[in-house]
């Protein structure tokens, strides 16, 4: 019984995450307050940094530091990109910029 409940909770989590990911666009992030954007960035970059770190320690550090090493400059770049591509997802913009500056996200064999 416990395993089936856990499975249902996991499926609900992934389903709700997929729905939210599909609906969040750059135009939505542009409406966030400065504080909301900061917390959204913190979650996005921390999560991506952890995932990258599992495969490549240096890339993980690059991802973690990308935004926060020069916050004002990088946030301005993100905002400019969000305005330029309002119908795209913010995660797509972030991953593209991280790929450019930190390398491609690849599973190491």
pLDDT at 10 over 60: no
Region 49-67 average pLDDT = 91
The band of 15, judged by pLDDT with boundaries at 50, 70 and 90, is low
Residues 6+ apart with CB under 8 A from 85: 26, 93
Model-level pTM? 0.74
The band of 84, judged by pLDDT with boundaries at 50, 70 and 90, is very high
Two tokens at 4?
Answer: 């089936």
Region 39-53 average pLDDT = 91
The torsion defined by the Cα of 81, 85, 91 and 92, in degrees rounded to 10, comes to -100
Mean pLDDT of the chain: 85
21 by DSSP, 3-state: which? helix
């Amino acid at each position: 019984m416990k395993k089936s409940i856990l499975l249902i909770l996991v499926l609900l989590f992934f389903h709700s995450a997929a729905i939210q990911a599909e609906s969040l666009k750059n135009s939505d992030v542009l409406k966030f307050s400065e504080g909301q954007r900061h917390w959204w960035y913190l979650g996005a970059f921390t999560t991506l940094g952890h995932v990258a770190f599992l495969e490549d320690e240096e890339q993980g550090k690059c991802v973690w530091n990308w935004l926060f090493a020069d916050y004002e400059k990088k946030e301005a770049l993100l905002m400019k990109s969000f305005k330029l591509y309002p119908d795209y997802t913010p995660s797509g913009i972030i991953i593209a910029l991280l790929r450019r500056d930190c390398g491609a996200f690849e599973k190491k064999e």
